[in-house]
A = this chain, B = another copy of it.
Amino acid sequence: MNMQDISSGVALWRQVADGIERGIAEGRFTAGEKLPGEMEIAETYRVNRHTVRRALAALAERGLVRAERGSGTYVETARLAYPLRSRTRFSEIVGAGGREPRGQLIDASEEPATRELAQLLGLKTGAPLARIEALRLADRAPVCISTTWLSAERFPDAGNVFASARSMTKLLTHYGVRDYRRASTRITAAIVDATDAARLDLTLGRPILVVDSTDVDNDGQPLVTKRSRFAAERVEFLVENV
């Protein structure tokens, strides 16, 4: 095979879409802002206008931009402002931003508590834990993946309950937990791994925010502990002094 003419293997429209998305992620285009016209984008990337339309269609499909006929194409997504306080509820935070929160079960299983998890949950090492892996979205945009651990004895069949409730708050309500609060939150950053990248619709190498948190009931009894991985470009944490 003559390799002179080999291409990059990445479709042009995808390169354009990635470029625009990076522009949004890096803040060159902000929420509500009008993108350059299709013709102008086409000139910038030196591609046909139809190729640009394909790129924009892909972005619109994911809810990142919205086209208005006769007017222009606008950046749809603001970074989700995510306040960190003692009463932190994903669904409430997303809803407050006028967006529709969604939860989606990826996987549920049982596993014995490691020493670390046991300590966080106030259980003994080796105690049976339910492990729930869930994807959380705002409108159609994946925001974070969380791995949640909770006592399998106190919350039997938690995986199936979450699968139908699609919300950690509702799951806890199902077991009679009327209220709970955030006891601890720890934030770090990392590079997304391949699995999470696919689920969060991120390209490899993008940064993620890793949040380890534990929720307790009103008596201070640990209920659940989580490790959440947020698409850094779609969220900003607001630390509020309580």
Contact = CB atoms under 8 A, between A and B. Distances in A.
Contact of A58 (B9, B17, B203): B9
A10 B6 contact: no
Interface string A111-142: 00000000000000000000000000000000
Interface in A1-37: 1, 3, 6-11, 13-15, 17, 22
Nearest to A54: B1
Contact of A11 (B10, B60, B204): B10
A152 interface: no
Residue of A7, A54, A205, A206 contacting most chain B CB atoms (<10 Å): A205
Contact of A9 (B17, B53, B194, B206): B17
Contacts of A192: 205
Contacts of A11: 7, 9-11
Given A205-B205, A205-B206, A206-B205, A8 B14 contact: yes
**When A and B form their complex, which 6 residue pairs have the shortest distance between CB atoms, in order from nearest?**
A205-B205, A9-B14, A9-B11, A204-B205, A3-B61, A1-B57
Assembly stoichiometry (copies) = 2
Contacts of A14: 8-10
Residue of A9, A13, A54 contacting most chain B CB atoms (<10 Å): A9
Interface of A: 1, 3, 6-11, 13-15, 17, 22, 53-54, 57-58, 60-61, 191-192, 194, 203-206
Contact of A204 (B9, B53, B61, B203): B203
24 contacts: A1-B53, A1-B54, A3-B57, A3-B58, A3-B60, A6-B54, A6-B57, A6-B58, A6-B61, A7-B11, A8-B14, A9-B10, A9-B11, A9-B15, A9-B17, A9-B58, A10-B10, A11-B11, A191-B191, A191-B205, A192-B205, A203-B204, A205-B205, A205-B206
A204 to B, nearest CB: 4
